Amino acid sequence: MSYLECSKDLNLSMQESTIFMGAIEEVVKNGELKDFVAQRTDQPGQSSMTEAKEGNDPMVVPAALVGFEVKRVLVDSDSAVEVLTWKGYQKMGLKEQALKKVSPLYDFVNHPIEVNGCIALPVTLGDGEYATTEYVQFFMIYQPMAYNFIFGCLIMRMAKMMITTSYMKIKFPTRTGVGFISLISERPGKATCY
Do 75 and 96 fall within a single domain? yes
Do 97 and 167 fall within a single domain? yes
pLDDT tens digits for 17-41? Answer: 567 666 776 766 777 666 655 554 4
Nearby residues of 150 by Cβ (< 8 Å), 6 or more positions away:
73, 74, 76, 79, 81, 82, 83, 84
What is the number of domains present in the chain? 2
Range of the domain at 25: 3-53
Nearby residues of 155 by Cβ (< 8 Å), 6 or more positions away:
82, 123, 134, 136, 161
Do 33 and 80 fall within a single domain? no
Kindly calculate the radius of gyration of the chain based on its CA atoms and give it in whole angstroms: 23
Among 12, 32, 53, where does a domain finish? 53
Q: Would you say the pTM of this structure is higher than 0.75?
A: no
pLDDT at residue 139, as a whole number? 93
pLDDT tens digits for 127-183? Answer: 888 999 999 999 998 888 888 899 998 899 999 988 887 778 889 999 999 998 887
Do 91 and 118 fall within a single domain? yes
Q: Write the CATH number for 120.
A: 2.40.70.10
Compute the distance between CA of residue 17 and CA of residue 28 in angstroms, rounded to an integer: 17
Do 67 and 162 fall within a single domain? yes
